[in-house]
Amino acid sequence: MENLGALSILLAFCLAVYALAASAIGGWLKKPYLVVSGERAVLAVFALLTTASAILVYGLLSSDFRMVYVAAHSNRDMPLLYKFAAWWGGQEGSLLLWSWLLSLYAAIVVLTNRRRHRSFLPYVTATLMGTQVFFLILNAFIASPFKMLAVGREITAAADGRGLNPLLQYWAMAIHPPMLYLGYVGFVVPFAFALGALIAREPDESWLRTIRRWTLITWLFQSCGILLGAGWAYAVLGWGGYWGWDPVENASLLPWITATAYIHSVMMQEKKGMMKVWNIGLISATFWLCIFGTFLTRSGVVSSVHAFAQSDIGHWFVGFLALIAGVCVFFILNRLDYLKSEARLESVVSRESSFLFNNLLLLVSCFAVLWGTLFPVISEAVTGEKISVDTLFFNRVQVPIGLMLLFLTGVAPLVAWRRTSVTSLKRNFLFPSIGGLVLMGALFAAGVRHFYALVCFGLCLFVAWTIFLEFYRGARAIRVRTGLSLPAAAVELTRRNTRRYGGYTVHMGIVLMFVGFAGAAFNQHKQVETVVGGTFDIGRYQLKVRELRDGANPNYIWNHAVIDVFVGGKHVGVLEPERRFYPASEQGTSEVAIRRRLNEDLYLNFAGMTDDQSKAVIQAYVFPLVSWIWIGFWVLLAGTLICLTPSRVKVRGTRGGGEPELAAEMVAAER
């Protein structure tokens, strides 16, 4: 079986090379038979990589410890879910997952575009297969998942495996990496379409709708991956946070930032024919940063709990990153006439300028994260000393940028194209601004003195109010014409323009997440050493250690604390944090206990016993408002799905300016 897996990867590599050559040459020479032949090779690559992936997964599930990868990342006592998750738990398996997902995306592109975009689709296919060839070089020749354990020339088998990294044995980690990969790999598709259209000088910009949908889908996957990773860090690592500006965390955030900028600015190109250079640059940067993030995870150039062991694979990524940058720069400079804007910015107070400011802030944020992530590497290269950048640097830079972006989230959708009148500004922003200022004053009077938290809460109310007004005005107009109730009219309004009102819903999700972020200004922490029956306080909670237990199962050894929780002398619950040790990998983990509420989380981590085993070490935290981060994520998810749903009424818009109108009631609502 393992030979069939290795052969499948090798054949897939050969066919990917052929698909790249046939598509590029067929598109250049206008040879349809070569183009079709290349597309069929793409489908064959998908079939072969599916075969290879199935063989690896079968080896993991059946505990085939003759395979080096299986012995290193699985064992007999692991639950079935984590045996499957071991597919992406190591270097070789995760690269195979990357290749398989790319082949899946490429097959979908070929099958769904057999009658569309034919003038430049060969270049799209060639771009996809160029990326595929790179990863298959790694799969076939550098990091094969089908290496066998051997003594001399005889294949042997380990008695048992080391098992999956205990930190990854958590339900979210069975979902988080595939979600991130679906985002990382998925961004190859909009990049391939943009580059293909650029190479062919495609005059029909209908492909922008295709690329927008692909970008939204992959942006959603990336968002899910990032938030699942934050949830994993919060619930598993035991330090109480959900984001630590870890280099690999940052690597997942970077393409998300540039993709967010692209999703906003591409509307300028669709409606006004503007910012074409910006857009091709943003989607190219997004793809480049996806490969860069994959490089950071595997090269060992940065230290991270998320990273794989250091290996020589990083040199291959550096070469590929240089190739991507060279190709993008060449075609952008060579096609500047094709990328010329069709309109100019007419007013600073307009939707165009707000999108431009939004892009600039996002790029500043992206550069700051990139600089902070690479600074240890740069400092070591220049001075010979690796100087790390702590979370304080990132927070000092990103918090003000985040607040400015939050402000634009409320402003940008409500200002008009071209220019906005003073009357329109007063109608849209007067009461939300007053409401935000009143809330800040009330919180200050109540004793809140944290400046950024005050500003954040005020801006959250400001943005939420503007979004509510947009829904209310449109729904009221529909209610007048149809007699529907206000909630039903709001649903009808959303169905008529899913892109617009889905976008507002996404913005509301961001607002709720910022409420959760602001709560971090009031976090509380205490570490105590206590015996059974001992008590301690944190915030409004009184905690009593009722019992300490220990035991073992085939997978790990555990120590367990049972802690009663009281508020004002009233018993409100029991929390049971746990410490685990996995003999197979000789690693320990924490299973934290969390009392989740909308206003705050009580978070307990059992850090172990003191050296003399006489006392339990308990780390206690109170995290105000953190649940709103996860609620905001679900709202963001719902909004993105709404955006991906076709509108019930076809939107009519023009390049010449003006908001796309849906119906007479929408015009009335905006007046």
Q: What residue type is assigned to position 18 of the chain?
A: Y
Q: Which pLDDT value is given to residue 669? A: 38
Q: Is 241 a domain residue?
A: no
Asked, for residue 567, whether it belongs to a domain, the answer is yes
Please say whether the beta carbons of 464 and 456 come within 8 A: no
Does residue 136 form part of some domain?
A: yes
3-class SS of residue 78: coil
Q: Retrieve residue 662's tokens.
A: 């849906």
**pLDDT at 650 (0 to 100):** 54
**Alpha-carbon distance 83 to 77, whole Å?**
9
Q: Does 89 fall in a domain?
A: yes
| Contact by Cβ (8 Å): 516, 628 | yes
Residue 665, phi then psi, degrees to nearest 5: -65, -30
Predicted TM-score (pTM) of this structure:
0.89
Backbone angles phi, psi at 223, to 5 degrees: -60, -45
- Cα torsion 438, 440, 441, 447 to 10°: value is 150
* Res 657: pLDDT: 39
Q: Spell out a b/e string for 375-388, using b for 16 or more CB atoms within 10 Å of the CB, else e.
A: ebeeeeeeeeeeee
The DSSP element (H or E) to which 566 belongs, if any, is strand 557-567
- Is residue 589 situated within a structural domain? yes
Contacts of 25 (CB under 8 A, 6+ apart): 31, 34
**Residue 420 DSSP code:** -
Residue 321 carries which side chain, given as an amino acid letter? L
pLDDT of residue 111: 94
Q: Which residue positions in the chain have pLDDT lower than 50?
A: 651-671
Helix (H, G, I), strand (E, B) or coil at 438: helix
Residue 664 is predicted with a pLDDT of 39
Q: What is the pLDDT of residue 417?
A: 66
146: phi then psi, degrees, rounded to nearest 5: -110, 25
Strand, helix or coil at 69? helix
Both structure tokens of 98: 């990357």
State which of 109, 138, 163 marks the end of a domain.
Answer: 163
Is residue 608 one of the residues assigned to a domain? yes
Per DSSP, the residues of 269-327 read HHHHS--HHHHHHHHHHHHHHHHHHHHHHHH-SS--TTPPPP-THHHHHHHHHHHHHHH
List alpha helices for 80-206, DSSP H.
80-85, 91-112, 121-137, 176-186, 188-200
- Whether residue 408 lies inside any domain: the answer is no
At a CB cut-off of 8 Å and minimum separation 6, what does 617 contact? 527, 528, 529, 606, 607, 608, 609, 610
Alpha helices of 527-652 — where are they, by DSSP H?
627-644
The number of angstroms, rounded, from the C-alpha of 347 to the middle of its chain's C-alpha atoms is 34
Rounded CA-CA distance 119/109 in Å is 14
Instruction: From 163, 196, 220, give the residue that closes a domain.
Output: 163
Gap between the Cα atoms of 506 and 81, Å rounded: 32
What is the total count of domains within the chain? 2
The whole-number pLDDT of residue 575 equals 94
Distance CA 13, CA 522 (A): 54
Q: Which of 525, 391, 515, 523 is nearest to 454 (CA)?
A: 515
Number of residues written out for the chain:
671
Asked which of 624, 643, 658 is the last residue of a domain, the reply is 624
332 lies in some domain: no
Distance CA 548, CA 617 (A): 11
Alpha helices (runs of H) in 544-657, residue ranges in sequence order: 627-644
Q: Which of 276, 271, 268, 265 is nearest to 215 (CA)?
A: 265
Burial string for 447-478 (b: 16+ CB within 10 Å, else e) reads: ebeeebbbbbbbbbbbbbbbbebbbebbbbbb
Range of the domain at 545: 522-624
Question: What pLDDT score does 306 carry?
Answer: 54
> What does the alpha-carbon distance between residue 372 and residue 393 come to, in Å, rounded to a whole number?
8
Helix (H, G, I), strand (E, B) or coil at 168: helix
